[in-house]
A and B are shown apart, each in its own frame.
Chain A
């Protein structure tokens, strides 16, 4: 069946460090892939998305590339800030209504 696996957190980095949060998926066909972010005390919001193989989604300095050959959609940022501290969720779209979610990865950035 369809599933999403994310690296376990928390991930703790110093400000200006390079960030990678791994996400791999299992799915039939070519699902759309998403990264959502949840800041403390808030609901989830879309960070970026990709709809087909080799697409790169980007937003706020974050990037992720849809890799069909490795079934991955890893999130990267070149230089993180304290304000990036949040929980990051990877998800795939299975149908018109359903997203399949990873467990989330908590990111802590220390000044």
Chain B
């Protein structure tokens, strides 16, 4: 059981470049999330989705975009990378019901120079 997978694990971007962080889950979860984790800080929610075709902004959505065309995939797009987007990005999924444990991917460490 793969759970939540993310690619790539590491990436270095130049200012102004674009990239897509991939996230896939095989648990048939309706809810999916993107977080960023900055040093010494808790996780901040970037975007979330409650099902295919439905996405919404979290706390820190500026500079990012998402799509959810299937239940399994929830890619995160950075259009014009900035140094402030240097962070570790985590994708997570959950059923959206009950106490709703979130299951996390291993993360993508992104550096923007």
Q: Which A residues contact B (CB, under 8 angstroms)?
A: 4, 32, 34, 41-46, 49, 51, 89, 91, 93, 96-99, 101-104
Contact = CB atoms under 8 A, between A and B. Distances in A.
A22 to B, nearest CB: 15
A98 B58 contact: yes
Nearest to A32: B99
Contacts, number: 57
Interface of B: 4, 31, 33, 40-45, 48, 50, 58, 90, 92, 96, 99-107
Given A43-B105, A43-B107, A97-B48, A49 B99 contact: yes
A101 B89 CA distance: 15
Contact of A44 (B31, B45, B90): B90
- Give the one of B4, B40, B58, B102 with max A CB within 10 A: B102
B99 A93 contact: yes
21 contacts: A34-B101, A42-B107, A43-B107, A44-B92, A44-B104, A46-B101, A49-B99, A49-B101, A93-B99, A96-B31, A96-B96, A97-B31, A98-B45, A98-B48, A99-B43, A101-B42, A101-B43, A101-B44, A102-B42, A103-B40, A104-B40
A93 B101 CA distance: 10
B102 to A, nearest CB: 7
Contact of B41 (A42, A96, A103): A103
B102 A99 contact: yes
A97 B106 CA distance: 20
Nearest to A4: B42
B43 to A, nearest CB: 5
A25 B45 CA distance: 18
A18 B97 CA distance: 35
A97 B96 contact: yes
Contacts of B99: 32, 49, 51, 93
